Amino acid sequence: MTVPAPFQVAAVQTVSGTSLDANLKRADALIADAAQGGAGLVLLPEYFCMMGQHESDKVAIREQDGDGPVQDFLADAARRHRVWLVGGTLPLWCDDPGRVYNTSLAYDPRGERVARYDKIHLFGFTKGTESYDESRTILAGTTPVRFEAPCGPVAMSVCYDLRFPELYRQLAGDGGASLILMPAAFTYTTGKAHWEILLRARAVENQCYVLAAAQGGKHENGRRTWGHSMLVDPWGEVIDVLPEGEGVVRGTIDPARLAEVRQNLPALRHRVL
């Protein structure tokens, strides 16, 4: 069995606004920054293409699967920058005229799509005047997804999925995942309380790296997101983090580190359920 070589990855953090064109232009600049820094895989955050004034705004820009400006942008950016590119999320068409799939798409360095994941768990939260219910405008996906990259098996997930460890157990399979992807737009309230704890927990219990790309700041629509994009290693150590604002988080997926953690503490082999 061939052991993968160390592989550079990067998470892009944005503070997306209401203009699709402006968001894509800024994302491209940050992808370029990540690629020039040596990243072979780049992850964009949830809603990197738009944070609208209203939750329903994403329905207006939803795209048919395989056809649309955001998908064209992702394929082209992956090809131009020669990276594996995962487009955090974008709104794709579903049969309900008032909703979308909140979809994460992965492209290889040729610009070919290799995976599609529709967010399974839909966020709901109410505290005082703060209230969210994604099910009003999003149709939940049903299928866990992972794909093979140079660093090994990569598990896809989005934002609220982070709170459901059983999803990652299913994605890990018999051999385990090397990397979990977590594009997100965590609220400031829930992010401050739980974001880092949950990311480190998913890394520790699955003995793999977790790459999290977040929205991070005050948006045009008045919403404030937590940020703190980061890369966490299989021992739960934070390799790099960006608290707030636009930028890039970087690090290496090291197969030797994965093997060391799993050899020293063979928890994955000890599972009985």
Residue 49 known to be catalytic: no
List 179's β-bridge partners, or say none.
154, 209
Q: Which residues lie closer than 8 Å to 129 by C-beta, 6 or more apart?
A: none
The count of other CB atoms within 10 Å of the CB of residue 1 is 3
119 with 103: CB under 8 angstroms?
A: yes
218 has catalytic annotation: no
> In angstroms, how far is CA 224 from the centroid of its own chain?
18
CB 145 within 8 A of CB 116: yes
Task: Given the residues 134, 159, 208, 244, select the one marked as catalytic.
Answer: 159
Residue with tokens 């704890």, as numbered in its chain: 197
For the chain, how many residues are written? 273
Closest alpha carbon to 210 in 133, 273, 155:
155
Q: How far is CA 105 from the centre of its chain?
A: 10
Mapped onto helix, strand or coil, the DSSP state of residue 221 is coil
Using alpha carbons, list the distances in angstroms from residue 207 to 36, 57, 160, 183, 203: 29, 38, 20, 19, 5
From the list 46, 63, 134, 196, the catalytic residue is 46
User: How far, CA to CA in Å, does 253 sit from each of 80, 150, 167?
Assistant: 23, 10, 22
User: Distance between CA 34 and CA 106 in Å, rounded?
Assistant: 16
Is 25 in the active site? Answer: no
Catalytic, out of 49, 58, 63, 119: 119
Catalytic residue numbers read: 46, 119, 159
